[in-house]
Structure 1
Amino acid sequence: MQEKKVWYEPHPVTPERKAELVAAGYRILDARFKPAGEESQGSEEAGDGSKEPETKRRGRKPAGEE
């Protein structure tokens, strides 16, 4: 069995985000458990060669957009 790379993500993680990260081959751990000496997430590569798995973050729209 191949060991998965670890991705530190703030919890709670949405089901969509979890599916994205698992599909990219990551094991998800809460960001609060990230070791102090660990490199930033942007230095890891996702399976498609991008710096981070693509995301569609939910949240507030910037001011002026409705």
Structure 2
Amino acid sequence: MAMNLRLRDDQTEALKQRAEQEGTSMHALLLKAVDDYLARTAQEAIVRKTAMEQAAKWHELMERLK
């Protein structure tokens, strides 16, 4: 899917400099940033779900220990 992304001038300049430093394109850096974000938030969702499940599982015991 094609899309447009509007960056502020300072973001564009910083991205351009980073791409040059890493010897890659701005496009490749943005794709990596999106992939990293999606992977991180997916992991956070798994941790959050597991924590909620464990809290529910041990709720009765925790109430008795108060």
Category of TM-score, reference length = shorter chain: under 0.3
Bigger helix fraction: 2
Query: Greater relative contact order: 1 or 2 (C-alpha under 8 angstroms, separation 6 or more)?
Result: 1
TM-score normalized with structure 2 length: 0.23
Q: TM-score with structure 1 length normalisation?
A: 0.23
Higher fraction of strand: 1
